[in-house]
């Protein structure tokens, strides 16, 4: 496999200035005629060949400036087109290819989903449509003519503005779209189909009236209203918060059922996985509403951070993704609850990114090599990328960060640029040096932050000793010290913040320590009492922190910290310490458990904390989280057992309070997706989960009742899911009922049934999944279905996936092989669930390795899957 290196980046000797594309779509095939206006660069020598990308294309005809090329003037095959001696001046290359969208199960390029023709081009799908310089640094003006049968494709869409349309004879019609903004090919989009729509409008701050539309299959229009509402709020927010206005008169979104990503930010024509568009209370959960709001915002925000300013090459992917995730996180924080959003994001980071960063697939947020770019749309690029931008904002402060962003937009609008250019604007706007900070982009691995402290009453001096260390990752044996912004406070005996008169030994700015060395010993003088330190407030840096605080101090923080994140974290830490000790053979003391119980009881009873926060706080760290903290020789059964026992020990004494609070949180009001209602449902369902998992008397029945009486999917799915996870006596019947009555007729609800089915920690789960996949009606070409079943199994069912007999590993490996021949991108993603294998105990490790080695010998794997497999076994 060819490895591509960042250090080899070179501009192309030719530029495509404009692309005039003519699509003729019929049921049988699609013919694409491309007129590309091409220029040599100033320094291009005569005789330099023009090399265009292509993938699975067959060339029909080729001409330059209208004159057909002789056979000896070019070479064309499935992987590209070379014109040996193009003119050393501006010229027009004309090519014609014929595509078979119907058979395109990779879902890259032009394909059909539910009868609709649609495209996905990021990262390298455009080369499956026509021969092109399919790289993000070639920005061209696009004009697109689409001709298609009127009866099957009355709706014809592409990027930009509609400039012409009409009848094309013989039952065909046409539309011509022109995009006034130069763009890279990965932002190209085309849709042709028989679709319904809802429309609305948004007037920008400077008075531009933008026509908004969301297209979907007929009959689903009502389910697009929440997405439209989210879109308008996103547009307003980007003006308020970043001064960014929309720049076209039209913004279209299309929902399709078969989609590799969640959604795609094509200029003026976003294409969405329909699970991130459709919402109605009876089939979508609060989590779905939340996801829709977030992803609609994310793709919209890409218009500035991604489209107007794009990436020079794919190594810079997090230039647009990390920044845009940061922006969508800020949007949600402003629209809903900031602390709740932060806690949820950190839970996601720890369960999604930290395992990646600490396992065989670890890579820097800006990688310096890849063999398959599609395997780099990872939690590291996205979520760690967002953390890096967040740290920058923390270090520079809100105003300083905004100054940098303003300069970024001003200086780089219309360009394809780099992480270096991004950091440079912040350095310049704030007159700071970000050279060391840049290491965050270049170095893989999650740093470990160690802390110890001491207090000297005589001199009223409090000393904090901090250290940072990052373990080696694949290809990076030695690590450098990073710049860690550590937000903090010192809390006095009465629970309020203490001040100090002097600091030495480190950099402390207001409520932030900036640790940029491997170690530091920071002395605070004028501290009248021994404080309890509250460190890493708001999770101000994405690190693992080793704390030496006693349980009593942690619980003190849980009660008194003014930082909600650290209140939540303190409870988690207490639970984690008890679980880890017990798994290691040191059972918890009754006293320790009682103290945690009481803290949970107080949290639940608090009049100031909101419901959503309580729902997050009344929990123990997840099994995967506990395993990662232990780090090696993991027996997932033992982790599962100990966690379940601890949950019981902590929450059984609170059963009455849990039940009473559950009953008080009424579920009668009509469904609304606002933060308060969502929080109320989250807490109520959390309480139900605690009652069921701590085996409280009558809890299983309560769940069955909630299931039966639920008036929205959030409450129904929660009841089903807690019943299934605990495998209550009703679980089987509820699953069957859910399948028949809700899942059978709605594929997005079927995904929920598949996910619950795959998460059940019982031995029969693998046979059940095999039966699901064996059903000839199960659509193996649909990424959502596969991810809901196999993806959820490998990521969220640790005891069954990592079974000692290897059955879980085999199941996933066999599915990967089968899916690989249909959709390599999805297959490669399913395989990443194996990333935990090096930290398992010996027997399970051997079983995992056997499955991976079997995969290696199972025939020809796609480049996507082979790349993941190679790294997994390295």
Closest alpha carbon to 809 in 821, 786, 828, 793: 793
Which residue's CB is nearer to ligand DPP, number 95 or number 307?
Answer: 307
Q: How far is the CB of 174 from ligand DPP (least distance, A)?
A: 28
- Confirm or reject binding of residue 328 to ligand DPP (CB under 6 A): no
Q: How far is the CB of 155 from ligand DPP (least distance, A)?
A: 22
Looking at residues 19 to 48 of the shown chain, list those that interact with ligand DPP (rule: CB under 6 A).
Answer: none
Looking at residues 310 to 339 of the shown chain, list those that interact with Zn ion (rule: CB under 5 A).
Answer: 321, 324
330 binds, among Zn ion, ligand DPP, none (CB under 5 to 8 A by kind): none
290 binds, among Zn ion, ligand DPP, none (CB under 5 to 8 A by kind): none
Which residues 6+ apart lie within 8 Å of 164 measured at CB? 174, 175, 176
Closest alpha carbon to 735 in 712, 758, 763: 758
286 binds, among ligand DPP, Zn ion, none (CB under 5 to 8 A by kind): none
809 binds, among ligand DPP, Zn ion, none (CB under 5 to 8 A by kind): none
Closest alpha carbon to 195 in 269, 116, 259, 123: 116
Q: Which of 124, 293, 299, 611 binds ligand DPP (CB under 6 A)?
A: 299
124 binds, among ligand DPP, Zn ion, none (CB under 5 to 8 A by kind): none
312 binds, among Zn ion, ligand DPP, none (CB under 5 to 8 A by kind): none
- Rounded Cα–Cα distance for residues 872 and 850 (Å): 12
Q: How far is the CB of 118 from ligand DPP (least distance, A)?
A: 14
Looking at residues 247 to 286 of the shown chain, list those that interact with ligand DPP (rule: CB under 6 A).
Answer: 261, 263-265
264 binds, among Zn ion, ligand DPP, none (CB under 5 to 8 A by kind): ligand DPP
The conformational region for residue 776 under phi > 0 = left, psi -120 to 50 = alpha, else beta, is: alpha
Which residue's CB is nearer to ligand DPP, number 160 or number 184?
Answer: 184
Residue 455 phi/psi, 5-degree rounding, is -135, 135
261 binds, among ligand DPP, Zn ion, none (CB under 5 to 8 A by kind): ligand DPP
DSSP of 223-278 = GGHHHHHHHHHHHHHHHHHH-----SSEEEEEEES--SSSEE--TTEEEEEGGGT-
372 binds, among ligand DPP, Zn ion, none (CB under 5 to 8 A by kind): none
Binding mask 725-764 for ligand DPP (x = CB under 6 A): ----------------------------------------
Q: How far is the CB of 510 from ligand DPP (least distance, A)?
A: 35
Which residue's CB is nearer to ligand DPP, number 15 or number 302?
Answer: 302
Which residue's CB is nearer to ligand DPP, number 294 or number 487?
Answer: 294
Which residues 6+ apart lie within 8 Å of 534 measured at CB? 488, 489, 490, 491, 557, 561, 563, 566
Closest alpha carbon to 798 in 684, 639, 647: 639
Which residue's CB is nearer to ligand DPP, number 179 or number 563?
Answer: 179
Which residue's CB is nearer to ligand DPP, number 265 or number 387?
Answer: 265
Which residue's CB is nearer to ligand DPP, number 185 or number 476?
Answer: 185
- Confirm or reject binding of residue 298 to ligand DPP (CB under 6 A): yes
Q: How far is the CB of 270 from ligand DPP (least distance, A)?
A: 8
Interface stretch with ligand DPP, choices 63-71, 134-142, 295-303, 530-538 (CB under 6 A): 295-303
121 binds, among ligand DPP, Zn ion, none (CB under 5 to 8 A by kind): none
Q: How far is the CB of 116 from ligand DPP (least distance, A)?
A: 18
Peptide bond into 123 cis (omega under 30): yes
- Rounded Cα–Cα distance for residues 428 and 485 (Å): 20
Q: How far is the CB of 184 from Zn ion (least distance, A)?
A: 14
- Confirm or reject binding of residue 690 to ligand DPP (CB under 6 A): no
Binding mask 772-791 for ligand DPP (x = CB under 6 A): --------------------
Interface stretch with ligand DPP, choices 298-306, 483-491, 631-639, 650-658 (CB under 6 A): 298-306
Which residue's CB is nearer to ligand DPP, number 381 or number 743?
Answer: 381
Which residues 6+ apart lie within 8 Å of 868 measured at CB? 361, 375, 828, 831, 832
- Rounded Cα–Cα distance for residues 593 and 649 (Å): 7
Which residue's CB is nearer to ligand DPP, number 264 or number 508?
Answer: 264
Q: How far is the CB of 318 from ligand DPP (least distance, A)?
A: 11
Looking at residues 637 to 666 of the shown chain, list those that interact with Zn ion (rule: CB under 5 A).
Answer: none
Q: How far is the CB of 298 from ligand DPP (least distance, A)?
A: 6
Question: Residues with catalytic annotation?
Answer: 299
String of b and e for 26-47 (b: at least 16 CB within 10 Å)? eeeebbbbbbbbbebeeebeee
Closest alpha carbon to 562 in 486, 494, 497: 497
Q: How far is the CB of 363 from ligand DPP (least distance, A)?
A: 17
Burial bucket for residue 637 (CB in 10 Å: 0-12, 13-18, 19+):
middle
Which residue's CB is nearer to ligand DPP, number 187 or number 802?
Answer: 187
Q: How far is the CB of 215 from ligand DPP (least distance, A)?
A: 17
Task: Show the tokens assigned to 382.
Answer: 């996205």
867 binds, among ligand DPP, Zn ion, none (CB under 5 to 8 A by kind): none
Which residue's CB is nearer to ligand DPP, number 261 or number 289?
Answer: 261
Q: How far is the CB of 161 from Zn ion (least distance, A)?
A: 24
Torsion from C-alpha of 345, 350, 356, 357, nearest 10 degrees: 100
Interface stretch with ligand DPP, choices 297-305, 513-521, 564-572, 752-760 (CB under 6 A): 297-305
336 binds, among ligand DPP, Zn ion, none (CB under 5 to 8 A by kind): none
Report the Cα–Cα distance between both ends of the chain, in Å, rounded: 15
Which residue's CB is nearer to Zn ion, number 38 or number 323?
Answer: 323
The H-or-E segment that residue 110 falls in is: strand 109-113
String of b and e for 700-727 (b: at least 16 CB within 10 Å)? bebbbebbeebebbbbbbbbbbbbbbbe
* 414 neighbors 391 (Cβ within 8 angstroms): no
Report CA-CA distances (Å) from 8 to 19, 123, 790, 861: 27, 19, 37, 27
Q: How far is the CB of 749 from Zn ion (least distance, A)?
A: 26
> Which residue is at the shortest CB distance from ligand DPP?
264
The number of residues that bind ligand DPP (CB under 6 A) is 9
Strand-pair category, 544-546 with 448-456: parallel
Q: In 10 A of CB 544, how many CB atoms?
A: 17
- Tokens 């290819």 belong to 97
Q: In 10 A of CB 479, how many CB atoms?
A: 18
Residue 353 phi/psi, 5-degree rounding, is -90, -45
* 261 neighbors 377 (Cβ within 8 angstroms): yes
513 binds, among ligand DPP, Zn ion, none (CB under 5 to 8 A by kind): none
Report CA-CA distances (Å) from 109 to 100, 123, 319: 10, 10, 24
Q: Where are the beta strands (DSSP E) in 373-531?
A: 416-417, 448-456, 461-469, 484-491, 502-504, 507-509, 512-515, 519-525
Binding mask 95-134 for ligand DPP (x = CB under 6 A): ---------------------------x------------
- Confirm or reject binding of residue 321 to ligand DPP (CB under 6 A): yes
Report CA-CA distances (Å) from 860 to 792, 807, 812, 855: 26, 23, 17, 10
Which residue's CB is nearer to ligand DPP, number 120 or number 661?
Answer: 120
Q: In 10 A of CB 299, how many CB atoms?
A: 26
Interacting residue ranges for ligand DPP, rule: CB under 6 A = 122, 261, 263-265, 298-299, 302, 321
> Interface with Zn ion by CB under 5 A: which residues?
321, 324
């Amino acid at each position: 496999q060819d490895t591509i290196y960042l250090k080899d980046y070179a501009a192309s000797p030719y530029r495509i200035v404009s692309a005039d594309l003519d699509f003729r779509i019929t049921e049988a095939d699609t013919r694409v005629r491309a007129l590309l206006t091409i220029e040599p660069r100033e320094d291009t020598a005569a005789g330099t060949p023009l090399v265009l990308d292509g993938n699975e294309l067959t060339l029909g005809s080729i001409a330059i400036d209208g004159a057909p090329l002789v056979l000896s003037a070019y070479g064309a095959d499935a992987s590209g087109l070379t014109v040996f001696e193009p003119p050393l001046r501006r010229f027009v290359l004309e090519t014609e290819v014929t595509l078979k969208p119907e058979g395109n199960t990779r879902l890259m390029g032009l394909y059909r989903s539910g009868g609709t023709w649609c495209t996905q081009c990021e990262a390298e799908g455009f080369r499956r449509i026509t021969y092109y310089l399919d790289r993000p640094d070639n920005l061209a003006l696009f004009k697109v003519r689409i001709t298609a049968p009127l009866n099957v494709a009355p709706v014809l869409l592409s990027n930009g503005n509609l400039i012409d349309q009409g009848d094309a004879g013989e039952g065909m019609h046409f539309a011509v779209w022109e995009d006034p903004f130069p763009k890279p090919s990965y932002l190209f989009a085309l849709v042709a189909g028989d679709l319904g729509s809802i429309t609305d409008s948004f007037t920008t701050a400077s008075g531009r009236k933008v026509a908004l539309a969301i297209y979907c299959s007929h009959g689903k229009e009502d389910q697009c209203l929440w997405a439209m509402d989210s879109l308008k709020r996103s547009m307003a927010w980007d003006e308020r918060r970043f001064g960014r206005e929309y720049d076209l008169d039209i913004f279209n979104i299309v929902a399709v059922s078969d989609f590799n990503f969640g959604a795609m930010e094509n200029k003026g024509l976003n294409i969405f996985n329909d699970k991130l568009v459709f919402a109605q209370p009876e089939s979508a959960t609060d989590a779905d509403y939340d996801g829709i709001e977030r992803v609609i915002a994310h793709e919209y925000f890409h218009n500035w951070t991604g489209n107007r300013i794009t990436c020079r090459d794919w190594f810079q992917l997090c230039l647009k993704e990390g920044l845009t995730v940061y922006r969508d996180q800020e949007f949600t924080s402003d629209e809903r609850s900031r602390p709740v959003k932060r806690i949820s994001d950190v839970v996601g980071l720890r369960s999604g990114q930290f395992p990646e960063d600490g396992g065989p697939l670890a890579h820097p947020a800006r990688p310096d090599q890849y063999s398959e770019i599609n395997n780099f749309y990872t939690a590291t690029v996205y979520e760690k990328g967002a953390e890096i931008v967040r740290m920058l904002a923390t270090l520079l402060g809100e105003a300083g960060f905004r100054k940098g962003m303003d300069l970024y937009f001003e200086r780089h609008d219309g360009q394809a640029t780099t992480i270096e250019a991004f950091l440079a604007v912040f350095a310049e706007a704030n007159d700071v040096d970000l050279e060391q900070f840049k290491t965050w982009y270049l170095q893989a691995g999650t740093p470990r932050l160690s802390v110890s402290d001491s207090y000297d009453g005589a001199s009223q001096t409090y000393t904090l000793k901090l250290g940072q260390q990052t373990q080696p990752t694949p290809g990076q044996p030695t690590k450098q010290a990073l710049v860690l912004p550590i937000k903090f406070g010192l809390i006095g005996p009465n629970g309020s913040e203490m001040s100090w008169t002097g600091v030495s030994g480190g950099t402390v700015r207001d409520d932030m320590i900036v640790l940029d060395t491997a170690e530091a010993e920071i002395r605070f003088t004028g501290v009248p009492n021994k404080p309890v330190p509250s460190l890493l407030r708001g999770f101000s840096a994405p690190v693992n922190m080793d704390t030496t605080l006693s349980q009593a101090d942690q619980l003190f923080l849980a009660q008194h910290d003014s930082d909600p994140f650290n209140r939540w974290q303190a409870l988690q830490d207490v639970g984690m310490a008890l679980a880890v000790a017990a798994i290691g053979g040191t059972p918890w003391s009754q006293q320790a458990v009682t103290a945690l119980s009481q803290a949970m009881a107080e949290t639940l009873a608090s009049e100031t904390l909101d419901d959503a926060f309580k729902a997050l706080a009344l929990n123990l760290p997840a099994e995967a989280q506990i395993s990662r903290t232990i780090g090696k020789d993991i027996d997932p059964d033992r982790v599962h057992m100990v966690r379940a026992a601890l949950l019981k020990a902590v929450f059984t004494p609170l059963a009455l309070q849990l039940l009473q609070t559950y009953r008080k949180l009424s579920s009668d009001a009509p469904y609304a997706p606002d933060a308060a209602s969502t929080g109320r449902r989250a807490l109520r369902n959390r309480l139900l989960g605690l009652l069921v998992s701590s085996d409280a008397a009558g809890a299983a029945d309560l769940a069955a009742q909630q299931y039966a009486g639920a008036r929205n999917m959030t409450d129904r799915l929660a009841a089903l899911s807690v019943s299934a996870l605990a495998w209550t006596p009703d679980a089987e019947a509820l699953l069957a009922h859910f399948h028949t009555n809700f899942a059978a007729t709605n594929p997005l609800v079927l995904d929920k049934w598949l996910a619950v089915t795959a998460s059940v920690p019982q031995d029969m789960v693998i046979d059940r999944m095999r039966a699901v996949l064996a059903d000839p009606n199960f659509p193996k070409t649909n990424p959502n279905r596969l991810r809901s079943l196999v993806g959820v199994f490998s990521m969220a069912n640790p005891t069954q996936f990592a079974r000692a007999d290897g059955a879980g590993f085999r199941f996933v490996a066999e599915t990967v092989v089968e899916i690989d021949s249909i959709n390599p991108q999805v297959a490669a993603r399913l395989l990443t669930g194996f990333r935990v294998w090096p930290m398992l105990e010996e027997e399970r490790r051997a079983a995992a390795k056997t499955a991976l080695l079997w995969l290696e010998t199972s025939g020809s794997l796609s480049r996507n899957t082979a790349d993941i497999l190679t790294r997994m076994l390295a």
